[in-house]
């Protein structure tokens, strides 16, 4: 009896093409942002019934492509892609419903945080709190990647208010140790260059913000009054830091749910007798929420 | 051509019963330990070729059971189970190769950290560093769960050396905020009770250790000389804390790989014409490594 059921399920896939499988490709699960996204996508099984084949790409383009091809051969119904390795043009050519999250998305549907508005909120807070020089710490992000909005939002608000500002765009490394080694000299530069100024520092993620805060607290025993700090993401480290860090909180639950909705919509269309493909990809944005804590008082 | 390949893959499943799918059930991905385990298991695709259907159970027993049944109907070949909801007796009855990680495992194969040896290392370090009262902070763990070894190891070393010691076993909550609220009064108790004593505090995970450290640093501006702290897990927070925390580092890469090896062995046996079931479940342990940092100087 149980066995019959099993046989019929596979047979049904053959007949209908509906496996109820969705593939997810993630760069890694070391970064908390990705783990949180996955933590929100997987329980949508309760709502939509889809089961998820999850793969960690680790920036290995060839292996990701092989995995993709294999999933397609298993007749999965759709894909959610967070990794950056394969271009959206190639992904679009696979002819399967796809939603991208926080990656280059020119030819495919996507859901992203409103990075620009997040940066506007963070920068405006530092300005309103009386900082007279603003500093943005980020990687040298390509303009086609959604998170570039963080740089643009920072620049626009600084220019709008005629604020003195500096962009520090470098490769900070992928480990805490490297972050530390590379941020430490930046703190020395800032201390020297902007002595006696009220410094507002907006960092592109909470991990970097925590590194910057730790360096200051180790030096002064507390956060000195001439510093204000804002991170980005709303990840656990922002609240678990020695002084709770103000941050731009991503609404990860909404991003995950909207990604699934957008995917289900495409998968349902595809199952119709005469599916009508989208004329242009749909790009959704989710506004992040500024979380004010003790580093911006 | 591509289509033919797809058809043949599903047809091949029907004929051979080899889907090359493995299911993973995890309690959540919020806790970094689970994200790390998954981060190590998924890339074994490169070695073994298995693809992973991942589910987050969130302690909902009924939904986990439903998910299990559904996976079985898709003819998955094996399961890795980290969630605690379904007993190993029930899991064994599903008649599919299973490996448990860090959960009750009486009737199924498992891979666990050697929690006992981890606690022995942590407690011995505090003793050797001259602490004259030892405190272990943990949940009130059931003796049948592998992590109970952390309590037993602590007690045994204290008794061996005739050390004054205290067990503080409570529910600390699942969020940082609750951890904070519940650990704060414990610090007050310890301060009062063991004034002028050299206190060695061994906490059952790095998140709790970071909370305890933050409370001390906020009160004294640094870690006072009459405290030594050791956490457990080796998770990022232990190195990202305001003072890098000594911890018992789990060898998560080894745990994940050995779990897959143990599963592949069972799955290969099952594919033989006359599979010989295991007489008793195999339980493997992986020894954790003590990481000495600045909270035990």
Contact A167, A136 (CB under 8 A): yes
Which of A10, A11, A236 lies nearest to residue B176, judging by beta carbons? Answer: A236
Provide the CA B45 distance to its chain's centre, in angstroms.
22
Are A221 and B222 in contact (CB < 8 Å)? Answer: yes
Are B221 and A218 in contact (CB < 8 Å)? Answer: no
Both structure tokens of A227: 């510093």
Q: Higher pLDDT residue, A291 or B29?
A: A291
Q: B114 pLDDT band (50/70/90 cuts)?
A: very high
Q: Is the pLDDT of residue B7 over 60?
A: no
Q: For residues A247, A248, A251 and A256, what is the CA-based torsion angle, rounded to 10 degrees?
A: -100
pLDDT in tens, B239-253: 999 999 999 999 999
Does B241 share its domain with B256?
Answer: no
Are A242 and B53 in contact (CB < 8 Å)? Answer: no
Flag whether residue B30 sits within 8 Å of chain A, measured between CB atoms: yes
* Angstrom distance (rounded) from CA A253 to CA B263: 33
- Residues B167, B169, B134, CA angle at the centre, nearest 5°? 25
Does A86 share its domain with A193?
Answer: no
Does A157 share its domain with A245?
Answer: yes
pLDDT in tens, B139-160: 999 998 899 999 999 999 999 9
* Angstrom distance (rounded) from CA A173 to CA A246: 23
Does B86 share its domain with B122?
Answer: no
pLDDT in tens, B190-227: 999 999 999 999 999 999 999 999 999 999 989 999 99
Does B175 share its domain with B278?
Answer: no
Q: Which residues of B touch A238 (CB under 8 A)?
A: none
Between residues 231 and 290 of chain B, which touch chain A (CB distance below 8 Å)? 236-237, 239-242
Flag whether residue B35 sits within 8 Å of chain A, measured between CB atoms: yes
Flag whether residue A65 sits within 8 Å of chain B, measured between CB atoms: no
Q: What pLDDT sits at residue A2?
A: 44
Residue A194's contacts (CB-CB under 8 Å, 6 or more residues apart) are A133
Q: What pLDDT sits at residue A193?
A: 97
pLDDT in tens, chain A (297 residues): 344 444 556 666 666 667 899 999 999 887 888 999 999 999 999 999 999 999 998 888 999 999 988 888 888 999 999 999 999 999 999 989 999 999 999 999 999 999 999 999 999 999 999 999 999 999 999 998 899 999 999 999 999 999 999 999 999 987 889 999 999 999 999 999 999 999 999 999 999 999 999 999 999 989 999 999 999 999 989 999 999 999 999 999 999 999 999 999 999 999 898 999 899 999 999 999 999 999 998
Contact B199, B212 (CB under 8 A): no
Does B159 share its domain with B75?
Answer: no
Does A150 share its domain with A195?
Answer: yes
CATH (domain of A15): 3.40.50.2300
Does B108 share its domain with B120?
Answer: no
* Angstrom distance (rounded) from CA B110 to CA B104: 9
Q: Is the pLDDT of residue B2 over 80?
A: no
Which of A35, A63, A179, A252 is best to mutate for the B interface (most B CBs within 10 A)?
A35
* Angstrom distance (rounded) from CA B52 to CA A55: 8
Which of B53, B221, B237 lies nearest to residue A53, judging by beta carbons? Answer: B53
pTM over 0.90: no
Q: Give the domain range for residue A32.
A: 2-112+252-286
- Interval B51-56 mean pLDDT: 95
Contact B248, B119 (CB under 8 A): yes
Complex ipTM value: 0.86
Q: Which residues of B touch A58 (CB under 8 A)?
A: 43
Does A158 share its domain with A41?
Answer: no
Between residues 90 and 149 of chain B, which touch chain A (CB distance below 8 Å)? none
Which of A207, A240, A241, A291 is best to mutate for the B interface (most B CBs within 10 A)?
A240
- Interval B63-67 mean pLDDT: 92
Which of B35, B69, B178, B252 is best to mutate for the A interface (most A CBs within 10 A)?
B35
Tell me the nearest-neighbour CA distance from A148 into chain B, angstroms. Answer: 26
Nearest residue in B to A37, CA atom:
B29
Does B218 share its domain with B258?
Answer: no
Q: What pLDDT sits at residue A10?
A: 63
Does A66 share its domain with A136?
Answer: no
CA nearest neighbour of A111 among A119, A120, A102: A102
Flag whether residue B58 sits within 8 Å of chain A, measured between CB atoms: yes
Q: What share of chain A is helix, strand, coil (3-state, %, to 5)?
A: 45, 20, 30
- How many independent structural domains does chain B possess? 2
Contact A131, A161 (CB under 8 A): no
Are A7 and B14 in contact (CB < 8 Å)? Answer: yes
Which of B30, B73, B214 lies nearest to residue A9, judging by beta carbons? Answer: B73
* Angstrom distance (rounded) from CA B190 to CA B76: 51
Flag whether residue B226 sits within 8 Å of chain A, measured between CB atoms: no
Q: What pLDDT sits at residue A58?
A: 83
Q: Which residues of A touch B260 (CB under 8 A)?
A: none
Q: What pLDDT sits at residue A174?
A: 78
Mean pLDDT (chain B, rounded): 92
Does B120 share its domain with B241?
Answer: yes
Which of B43, B205, B208 is best to mutate for the A interface (most A CBs within 10 A)?
B43
* Angstrom distance (rounded) from CA A136 to CA A124: 13
């Amino acid at each position: 009896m149980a066995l019959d059921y099993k046989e019929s399920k596979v047979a049904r896939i053959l007949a209908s093409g509906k496996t109820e499988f969705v593939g997810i490709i993630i760069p890694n699960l070391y970064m908390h942002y990705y783990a949180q996204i996955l933590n929100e996508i997987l329980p949508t099984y309760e709502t939509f019934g889809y089961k998820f084949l999850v793969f960690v790409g680790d920036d290995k383009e060839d292996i990701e492509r092989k995995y993709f091809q294999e999933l397609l051969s298993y007749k999965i119904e759709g894909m959610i892609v967070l990794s950056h390795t394969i271009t959206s043009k190639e992904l679009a050519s696979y002819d399967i419903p796809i939603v991208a999250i926080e990656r280059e998305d020119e030819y495919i549907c996507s859901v992203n945080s409103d990075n620009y508005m997040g940066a506007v909120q963070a920068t405006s807070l530092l300005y309103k709190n009386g900082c007279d020089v603003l500093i943005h710490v980020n990687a040298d992000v390509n303009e086609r990647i959604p998170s570039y909005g963080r740089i643009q939002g920072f620049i626009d608000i600084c220019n709008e208010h005629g604020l003195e500002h500096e962009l520090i765009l470098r490769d900070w490394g992928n480990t805490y140790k490297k972050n530390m080694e590379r941020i430490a000299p930046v703190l020395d530069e800032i201390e020297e260059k902007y002595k006696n100024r009220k410094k507002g520092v907006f960092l592109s993620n909470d991990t970097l913000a925590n590194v910057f805060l730790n360096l200051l607290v180790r030096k002064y025993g507390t956060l000195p009054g001439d510093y204000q700090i804002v991170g980005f993401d709303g990840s656990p480290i922002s609240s678990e830091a020695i002084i709770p860090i103000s941050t731009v909180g991503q609404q990860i639950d909404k991003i995950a749910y909207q990604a699934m909705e957008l995917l289900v919509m495409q998968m349902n269309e595809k199952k119709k007798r005469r599916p009508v493909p989208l004329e242009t990809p749909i790009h959704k944005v989710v506004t992040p929420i500024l979380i004010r804590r003790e580093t911006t008082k």
